[in-house]
Chains A and B, each alone.
Chain A
Amino acid sequence: MMMIIEKGMIKVSTTFERLLHWYLALTCLMLIFSGLGMMFHSFNFIAVPFGGLKNLKLVHNYTGLFFIPALLLTAFNWWKEAGTFDLPDDIEWLRKAGGYLWKVDRIPETGKYNPGQKVFFLTVVIVGLAMIGSGLLMLYPEGQSKELINWMYALHACGVVALLPFIVVHIYLGTVGVPGSAALVYTGYTSRAWCLSQCPKWLRKKEEDGTLEIFIGE
């Protein structure tokens, strides 16, 4: 994985987007690990560096507070590019699983984000909102019916079941699965070949508009 910007590389993500990605990713990972540390007795050891489960709970709660703006910024920032579908191409892409799982003749061209990423994005937004809502009720249960609070815990666990598999796929395809992708959350630049393969519609549009940023050296 070369993280060096070379001549001719194309700028795909802005500094703001890269920072936002890591802001969301780090709060999310922190929440996952602190949450698992509380949900499983066998993972209680995760609390040790924090000085016990009580502190792990505090870490989880306060990280949740920072997760709220991260999720909202993410939702607004990427809604246009990843929250809306490009029909009918996206449906066909999903039907063929983007050519990732079995051999397909022709994969429909995709814009900035492919439908798989869009499904992941929407899952993050919807599950994220559900986690925030249920989490706040779990934190402040006073005045609510006990039944509601109890189902909030089940809903919070549902969110984990829905999100973790997606995150595994996200990390796989963002790193070793599709070489050249990871650079987009570090340097923001990648090769023309990567763009032609992963976001051809976006590339063409930028070229037509004359807004494509190509690295021409220092």
Chain B
Amino acid sequence: MSKKIKLYDATKCTGCRGCQLACKQWNNLPAEQTQNRGSYQNPANLNPHTWLVMHFDEIDAGADGVKWLFRKDSCMHCTDAACVKVCPSGALSYTKYGTVALDQKKCIGCKECVAVCPFNVPQYDTKTEKVGKCDMCFSRLENNLEPACVKACPTGALQFGDEAEMKEIIKNRLAALKGKGHLYGDKFVGGTHMLYILPEQPVHYAGLPQNPMVPASLIAWKEWLKPLSLLAPGAVLAGTFLHYLTKGPKDVRKSLPETKGDA
């Protein structure tokens, strides 16, 4: 099975939020009461019931006045996913499509993935004590359907397909944009399975990490301390066994004065 890529081409996006709605619909996520904050970005961020949220940023474009930027914020589906590395129960796992699936039945609500995700994607629900995030519509992929957000997109800003095919599309699109398109997602965490083509440099997008990575603390823990936590006591256990065989137990009676033999 070849890996899949979901492309979000912001240069074609009109910010209609059809994808956000389709995501709620397919995943059966309830609507919620929100507050008008003077922005189309609603809710303000991802939450346990919102796995996809459209971001709206306004930037100063000099002579052009103000530019309005759109960004689809949802799981990036890292190749080298910190959440999968940290998940103790196997609730988060890689799929044959290269995406990161979440089995909520297995989730124990430890919140470890919430802390390690460089994109702040997994959201902890205090009511169900489980996390929620986009799984790129795994149930749809399994039935040869594209993700719900892609299906809903009216402008072709969202596209989905095999990795090789998508890379070709991206290459052609970047060429057509003549340097005005910026690819985001291919250069870190082993490459993400959701890629962005952005009309502006990534630095202009609020909340978009410039250099996302698997936290050093996680590498220290999982690659060094974890094996050591068994190797160290194991080696010492072998050492005590060897000690018993070679030096033997300590005979405290040797400390008694010679005349007294009753221990």
**Chain A contacts to B: CB under 8 angstroms:** 8, 36, 38-41, 44, 52-54, 57, 100-101, 138, 141, 146-147, 149-151, 153-154, 157-158, 160-161, 164-165, 167-169, 172, 176-180, 191-194, 196-198, 200
Cβ–Cβ contact A177 & B249, under 8 A: yes
A55 to B175, CA, bound (A): 54
Partner of B221, one of A141, A157, A196: A157
Cβ–Cβ contact B229 & A164, under 8 A: yes
Cβ–Cβ contact A38 & B88, under 8 A: yes
B89 interface hit (Cβ, 8 Å): yes
A146 to B247, CA, bound (A): 49
Main SS of the interface on chain B?
helix
Cβ–Cβ contact B256 & A196, under 8 A: yes
Chain B residues contacting A44 (CB-CB under 8 Å) are: 89
Provide the B222-255 mask, 1 if CB < 8 A to any CB of A, else 0. Answer: 0001101110110111001001100101111111
Residues B92-131 near A (CB distance < 8 A): 106, 108-112, 114-116, 120
Cβ–Cβ contact B228 & A197, under 8 A: no
Cβ–Cβ contact A100 & B247, under 8 A: yes
Cβ–Cβ contact B250 & A178, under 8 A: yes
Chain A residues contacting B89 (CB-CB under 8 Å) are: 44, 53-54
Min CB distance, B237 to chain A, in Å?
Answer: 5
A138 to B120, CA, bound (A): 17
Min CB distance, B226 to chain A, in Å?
Answer: 6
A160 with B236: in contact, given A57-B108, A197-B250, A198-B252 (CB under 8 Å)?
Answer: no
Chain A residues contacting B161 (CB-CB under 8 Å) are: none
Provide the B30-42 mask, 1 if CB < 8 A to any CB of A, else 0. Answer: 0000000000000
Shortest beta-carbon contacts, A-B, top 5: A164-B233, A197-B255, A157-B225, A197-B252, A172-B240
B215 interface hit (Cβ, 8 Å): yes
Chain B residues contacting A192 (CB-CB under 8 Å) are: 256, 263
B61 interface hit (Cβ, 8 Å): no
B218 interface hit (Cβ, 8 Å): yes
Chain A residues contacting B90 (CB-CB under 8 Å) are: 41
Min CB distance, A209 to chain B, in Å?
Answer: 21
A153 with B229: in contact, given A57-B110, A168-B240, A169-B236 (CB under 8 Å)?
Answer: no
Min CB distance, A149 to chain B, in Å?
Answer: 4
Min CB distance, B61 to chain A, in Å?
Answer: 32
| B: interface residue count bin | 35 or more
Q: What are 6 A-B residue pairs whose CB atoms fall within 8 Å in the complex?
A: A53-B106, A153-B86, A165-B236, A177-B243, A177-B249, A193-B252
Cβ–Cβ contact B240 & A141, under 8 A: no
A102 to B40, CA, bound (A): 75
Cβ–Cβ contact A167 & B225, under 8 A: no
Cβ–Cβ contact B116 & A150, under 8 A: yes
Partner of A179, one of B108, B221, B249: B249
A154 with B236: in contact, given A53-B89, A100-B250 (CB under 8 Å)?
Answer: no
A100 to B248, CA, bound (A): 10
A191 with B109: in contact, given A161-B228, A168-B237, A179-B249 (CB under 8 Å)?
Answer: no
A157 to B230, CA, bound (A): 11
Looking at B226, B230, B249, B250, which has the most chain A CB atoms within 10 Å of its CB? B250
A39 to B111, CA, bound (A): 14
A149 with B255: in contact, given A53-B89, A168-B236 (CB under 8 Å)?
Answer: no
Chain B residues contacting A169 (CB-CB under 8 Å) are: 236, 240
Cβ–Cβ contact A53 & B250, under 8 A: no
Chain A residues contacting B115 (CB-CB under 8 Å) are: 141, 146, 149-150, 153
Closest partner residue, chain B, to A60 (CB atom):
B110
Chain B residues contacting A198 (CB-CB under 8 Å) are: 252
B217 interface hit (Cβ, 8 Å): yes
A150 to B235, CA, bound (A): 28
Cβ–Cβ contact A165 & B232, under 8 A: yes
Chain A residues contacting B218 (CB-CB under 8 Å) are: 150, 153-154
Min CB distance, A5 to chain B, in Å?
Answer: 15
B203 interface hit (Cβ, 8 Å): no
Question: 20 extra interchain contacts, Cβ-Cβ under 8 A, other than A53-B108, A153-B217, A177-B244?
Answer: A39-B88, A41-B88, A53-B88, A53-B89, A53-B106, A57-B108, A141-B114, A146-B116, A147-B217, A157-B221, A157-B226, A161-B225, A161-B229, A176-B244, A177-B240, A177-B243, A180-B252, A196-B252, A197-B253, A197-B254
